[in-house]
Amino acid sequence: MKHSRLFSLSLMMLVGTILFGTQSISAQTKTLKFGDDGKFKIVQFTDVHWVYGDAKSEEAAERMAEVLDAEKPDLVIFTGDVVTAKPAADGLKAALKPVVERKLPFAVTFGNHDDENDLTRAELLAVLKGFEGNLTTSTAGISGVTNYILPIKGSVADNTASVLYLFDSNSYSPIKGVKGYGWIERDQIDWYMKSSKAFTTANGNQPLPSLAFFHIPIPEYHEAIANESNFMIGTRKEKACSAEVNSGLGTAMLAAGDVMATFVGHDHVNDYAVNWRGILLCYGRLTGGSTTYNDIPKGNGARVILLTEGKREFETWIRIKGGEVINHTRYPQDLK
């Protein structure tokens, strides 16, 4: 990573410390900034499905290392289902190793499988806070655990130039008679709307270019893909496994006018991006190995997102084995 893209690092009061062997690693804070070239690059890993002690998980580690060395991102975001077996703490440590050993900042939002092992979501968060480079945190008083905001500062001024919203999409329906997966709850949406309004007000009543990351796709993915006139690029081998009910996040984002795109995982054989009313609904690329179903053409990989400072635009692509780049997309140019 170029020196101009390194973010400032300061030790903070200890939030949580966890021992890995004999080494004690403290949680740290970091300020994300656009580089001198006005760019900020994110790599999205999703559905790593790490099974501790299973050699098949190394397929995920190999791909993560290959992608990170090729892309040299400013931030890595894991969109859920990082670990899927006991011991979860050891699995998490192994799954994050390619990122941690490269001293890259990273953020996690949980999926529906992460807390099905031997640790709760809160306990997993405590483990994450022990890793150097961790930016994962929580917002008290609302549903879920991994709800938080990552502002990206400008390359020169200390203003917030872009905003990343991370949501905990929860796990399974809490309502009797409603089957299937969970959803982002009303209190989470209210938190987003209040936060978005505050950023917009501080920016002279102009919405900041923003992105949203979570695990389970929202029902709008169905609506978007059903419209054959919509822009769509990528692989679609299964129906979006969203919640059966629509809690209104998509509508809230349209009203706020800040979110350009959403990035999810969950469905291992989808990696497409599709236009929904001017918001690009994207899947990441399955990052996991053969510990789970993974029959997507050409195997596992990652999504890359490149933001441009001061502009409501970005580029995104998929990087897979051997350095191949596919599905290059420009927002909003390619939506027209």
> What's the pLDDT at 139?
98
List C-alpha distances in Å: 144 to 147, 187, 189. Answer: 7, 10, 12
* Spatial separation of the C-alpha atoms in residues 299 and 288, rounded to whole Å: 9
Between strands 314-320 and 301-308, the pairing is: antiparallel
Q: What pLDDT digit, counting tens, does each position of 139-171 carry?
A: 999 999 999 999 999 999 889 999 999 999 999
Residue range 32-335 in CATH 3.60.21.10: yes
Q: Per-residue pLDDT tens for 209-237? A: 999 999 999 999 999 999 999 999 999 99
pLDDT value of position 30: 78
Does the pLDDT at position 26 exceed 80?
no
Rounded Cα–Cα distance for residues 276 and 335 (Å): 10
pLDDT tens digits, 258-275: 999 999 999 999 999 999
pLDDT tens track for 42-53: 999 999 999 999
Question: In 3-state terms, what secondary structure has residue 109?
Answer: strand
- For 169-221, write each residue's pLDDT tens digit: 999 999 999 999 999 999 999 999 999 999 999 999 999 999 999 999 999 99
Confidence of residue 7 (pLDDT cuts 50, 70, 90): very low
Reported as a single tens digit per residue, the pLDDT across 273-328 is 999 999 999 999 999 999 999 999 999 999 999 999 999 999 999 999 999 999 99
* Mean predicted confidence (pLDDT) in 96-123: 97
Contact (Cβ atoms closer than 8 angstroms) between residue 261 and residue 314? yes
Regarding predicted confidence, which is higher, 287 or 21? 287
Distance of CA 281 to the CA centre of its chain: 13
The residue ranges of every structural domain in the chain are 32-335
If pLDDT is split at 50, 70 and 90, which confidence band does 336 have? confident
Closest by CA position to 128, among listed 92, 95, 94? 92
- What is the pLDDT at residue 298? 96
Per-residue pLDDT at 12 exceeds 90: no
Main-chain dihedrals φ then ψ at residue 129, nearest 5 degrees: -65, -10
pLDDT at position 3 is: 37
pTM value? 0.92
**Alpha-carbon distance values, 208 to 78, 161, 273 (Å):** 23, 7, 22
